Amino acid sequence: MMIAKLSFVMPCSPVAQLSKATGHGVTVMRCVPSNKGGGQSLMKVESDDMDSVMLADKLGKETTTGSFKVTNLAPGRHLVTAEHPTCEACRALAEARCFLEEGHGDEDGLMRWTVIAPGQGALRELKDLLEKGGTKVVLESVRQLRSERELTLHQEKVIKLAFDLGYYDIPRRIDLAKLGKMLGVSKPTLDIMLRRAQRKVLASFLRAEG
């Protein structure tokens, strides 16, 4: 398994549209293809100058393709789901059998992705598929995924989502029940998943400290 950082420009993406509407950068949390050839994205954006109603209204007026649903996480923090009729990035990820670990984008369409790939072949395929859409992909770094003693891919995704949505904030911005509903798992199952992941993180930290 490989983990790679890459960048490319996709000015017509829902990420760029959301960034233009708020004037801020966007964090991409999920990006998956839909059954109808388009894509679905889950994004997070911080915008102190508008609430979720204002943001949803602005997206409705200023975007010509796709649909957006805005949920307020906290004052100035919004979770946005987008459905887009065409999403080359989502399709490229799925076809190359790669996973989006972390993504960021701005209003000019500049995307910075961290992806996990089964191997060099899948990573080359992802790059080729993205470039077929007319964008130039810059491969910034590639390395082997951490050892099996560290977090599994699923554990890392779950604990990162919990962190991003404020489960570890004081006070918490999301509870286990809501987080479990988003992930499609029960509250007790999610509790066990998070505690196992947390134990690995602590064990890794304590080993590093000596």
CB proximity list for 206: less than 8 A, separation 6 or greater: none
pTM score, two decimals? 0.64
Looking at the DSSP assignment, which residues form a beta bridge with residue 67?
83
Contacts of 56 (CB under 8 A, 6+ apart): 68, 69, 70
User: pLDDT tens digits, residue range 145-180?
Assistant: 655 457 777 888 898 899 889 898 888 899 999 999
Rounded to 10 degrees, the C-alpha dihedral 9/96/39/154 comes to -110
Using pLDDT thresholds of 50, 70 and 90, give the confidence band for residue 194: very high
Among 113, 132, 92, which Cα is nearest to 27's?
A: 113
Q: What pLDDT was estimated at residue 124?
A: 94
13 CB contacts (<8 Å, ≥6 apart)?
84, 87, 89, 105, 109, 111
**Percent of the chain scoring above 90 in pLDDT:** 29
Q: Between 133 and 184, whose confidence is greater?
A: 184
